[in-house]
Structure 1
Amino acid sequence: MSITAIKKGIGIHSNLPNIFENIQINSGVVHHSEHRGSKITYGGGSFLPLYIDEAYIPKRDWKMLSKNEKQCLHPQAKLKDHNNIYLGELPESVKKHLKRIDFSHCKTREDVIESFAKNQEVTEKLNEELNKFLNSISNSKPFHLNCITTNLPNLEMVACDISRLPENFTVEERKYMGLHNDGTKFMKLHTTYKFGNRICINLGAEARHFVYVNLSMIQVHNMLKKKMDTSKLNVYNVAECFFKYYPNYPVIKIKQGRYQYYIAPTDNCFHDGSTLGNTSLDINMVYFGNFNHQNH
């Protein structure tokens, strides 16, 4: 199959040096049934990750960006919260408190929460400085902590759907979603851009990756109109439909180092995180809001 060129869409903005050296591109996706997964060996267990039926996974043929691809990913002139992804690093005022909390022994999310609790005074100072920083990029709009999450190392895709599992499910029974868009029943494909963005902060010891398709939901909808009747297309089935008809549309992979964060309109693009190749627990904090990265 021929390689599809990326379109101008959701760009990447950063004040970090040599940002494009930490970004790669591939030639699209495969259905999980055609994907050879990587075994997870952690905490005394070993298993192959399971996926929901409609999951699609990025191909592993990653390469550095060409000059034209860099131009396509160059940020839009107006950095709106729905049309750009920003990669940044936490200010030293926040990092100095994080460095005082030891997560190296953590094997589960409960261990992480306990580490915060054991360092109550430091955690309070951390929250104070983190809120100052988030307020500075909040666009004077409300924001809130959505979750503190942990993911196993060496996961190709980290987002999983536990709603389809029994109450006392095991780690091995988790079903991962593959590339997906966030969204709720209150959203239409042509309104997802109105629902703000999120900031995800890497607290783990290793770098992780944010993978995404640089198309907005409006762009996706317009492309699918050429292939199918879109009258029944919605936020729940759009990913499966898009990857069925456009499996060769490239995926972008952004390296996110320790204490770095990304700001992304995750309701408005296909995305996921990845810990492939890592050996330690992935730890991150996610806030929802309307974060503005114009001056950071």
Structure 2
Amino acid sequence: MGTIENGIKIQCAGNLLDRTEISAGTERALGYSPAGIPFRTGAYKPKKPWRQLTDREAEVLMLKNKTNHTDYSSTVTILSLPEILKDKLSQLELHRVLSKYYFTKYYSKRESDFQNATRLLHLYFSSFNVSEREILASFFAVNNPNLETTTKYFEGRQYVGLHIDNWENATIEGAHLAQNRVCINLGLQTRYLLFVNQPLNNIKSRIVEKEGDFHLENTQWHLGQRFFKHYQSYPVVKIAIHPFEAYIAPTENMLHDGSTIQATKPDITFTLRGYFSV
């Protein structure tokens, strides 16, 4: 059994043990997802079974000694939207969305309402933006229910499993300087954030320990592949994101993905990027 080590921390209200599990490590993601779409060659996913955290593991993961602003490059924050914002978003009536295909038509029909919701979410999360750079890349997304991992590449033709975002074309060494991501659960059911709690520089160091160097053009995709090859017993963290909750995470500085496992209804999210700290 792999051991969770010090690295990226979690900040959330309530008991971390109630919403968090860890995997038995990772394994190759082979074949097709329940949506009928294949996994990319070389993709990895969490290995079952999932289990609850021990008290020691919770201690390692939980952020302690909070300062005025958390380190946006090494902290995952879970927060609940304020009631007034929940009420406004409820007016979108997203329970009417029965599929990703239908969402496109529904958005077109109520585009002004979605634009108003976007403005409200920008306004709310701007209070957490600790940079003069503007908030970027806001978009709605819809995923199928009951997926172990949710992210697709190549125009939706392949699932990629645990991966590293790279919107800013950052180097591995500079990934800690990239913007972090807000992802809000606007669906009716719980979704999950999956992640390896080690920043990219730590992951690169671990690969160098095994291989003596890290070549392969320093790409994020190869970094994940090499790490999982040598450290398949290292656990993946799975943390529940309930409806009208959001995570703020350094997704360009950690291996991660979303999951809609056990859900029966479409997964609907809204994403923002910026330098957010709570």
TM-score under structure 1 length normalisation? 0.85
- Residues 138 and 291, structure 1, Cα contact 8 Å, conserved in 2: yes
Equivalent position of 1:176 in the other structure = 159
5 Å matches for 1:40-119?
Answer: 40=35, 47=36, 49-75=37-63, 77=65, 78=67, 79-109=70-100, 111-119=102-110
Identity %: 27
The separation in 2 between residues aligned to 1:235 and 1:38, in whole angstroms, is 23
Given candidates 184, 190, 198, the residue that maps to 2:181 is 198
SS at structure 2 position matched to 1:237: helix
Given candidates 270, 275, 278, the residue that maps to 1:285 is 270
Q: Structure 1 residues 187 and 122, CA, compared in 2 at 3 Å: closer, same or farther?
A: closer
Deviation at 1:117, TM superposition (A): 4.7
Equivalent position of 2:34 in the other structure = 39
Are 1:189 and 2:186 counterparts? no
Q: Structure 1 residues 226 and 124, CA, compared in 2 at 3 Å: closer, same or farther?
A: closer
Q: Structure 1 residues 185 and 207, CA, compared in 2 at 3 Å: closer, same or farther?
A: closer
Q: What is the CA deviation profile of residues 134-165 of structure 1, one whole-angstrom value per residue up to 9, with x for unaligned ones?
A: 111111431123321111111111001124x7
5 Å matches for 1:122-271?
Answer: 122-123=113-114, 125-141=116-132, 142-163=134-155, 174-183=157-166, 186-228=169-211, 229-232=213-216, 233-271=218-256
Which segment is superposed worse, 101-110 or 258-267? 101-110
Deviation at 1:99, TM superposition (A): 1.0
Given candidates 10, 13, 17, the residue that maps to 2:11 is 13
Q: Structure 1 residues 145 and 38, CA, compared in 2 at 3 Å: closer, same or farther?
A: closer
Equivalent position of 2:261 in the other structure = 276
Which segment is superposed worse, 151-160 or 18-27? 18-27
Deviation at 1:87, TM superposition (A): 0.4
Q: What is the CA deviation profile of residues 168-206 of structure 1, one whole-angstrom value per residue up to 9, with x for unaligned ones?
A: xxxxxx310010111268322111000020000011111
Equivalent position of 1:44 in the other structure = none
Q: Structure 1 residues 206 and 187, CA, compared in 2 at 3 Å: closer, same or farther?
A: same
Which segment is superposed worse, 222-231 or 263-272? 222-231
2:152 partner amino acid: C
Q: Structure 1 residues 10 and 114, CA, compared in 2 at 3 Å: closer, same or farther?
A: same
Deviation at 1:223, TM superposition (A): 0.6
Equivalent position of 1:30 in the other structure = 27
Equivalent position of 1:43 in the other structure = none
1:10 partner amino acid: I
Deviation at 1:38, TM superposition (A): 6.4
The separation in 1 between residues aligned to 2:111 and 2:258, in whole angstroms, is 29
Q: RMSD over aligned Cα, in angstroms?
A: 2.1
Contiguous gaps of at least 5 residues in structure 2: none
The separation in 1 between residues aligned to 2:273 and 2:57, in whole angstroms, is 29
Equivalent position of 1:171 in the other structure = none
The separation in 2 between residues aligned to 1:93 and 1:120, in whole angstroms, is 21
The separation in 2 between residues aligned to 1:146 and 1:238, in whole angstroms, is 27
Deviation at 1:21, TM superposition (A): 0.8
SS at structure 1 position matched to 2:139: strand
The separation in 2 between residues aligned to 1:85 and 1:133, in whole angstroms, is 18
SS at structure 1 position matched to 2:183: strand
- Residues 100 and 144, structure 2, Cα contact 8 Å, conserved in 1: no
Deviation at 1:20, TM superposition (A): 2.6
- Residues 76 and 83, structure 1, Cα contact 8 Å, conserved in 2: no
Equivalent position of 1:170 in the other structure = none
Which segment is superposed worse, 56-65 or 232-241? 232-241
Q: Structure 1 residues 159 and 143, CA, compared in 2 at 3 Å: closer, same or farther?
A: same
Number of matched pairs: 272
The separation in 2 between residues aligned to 1:261 and 1:83, in whole angstroms, is 17
Q: Structure 1 residues 185 and 291, CA, compared in 2 at 3 Å: closer, same or farther?
A: closer
TM-score under structure 2 length normalisation? 0.90
SS at structure 1 position matched to 2:220: coil
1:203 partner amino acid: L
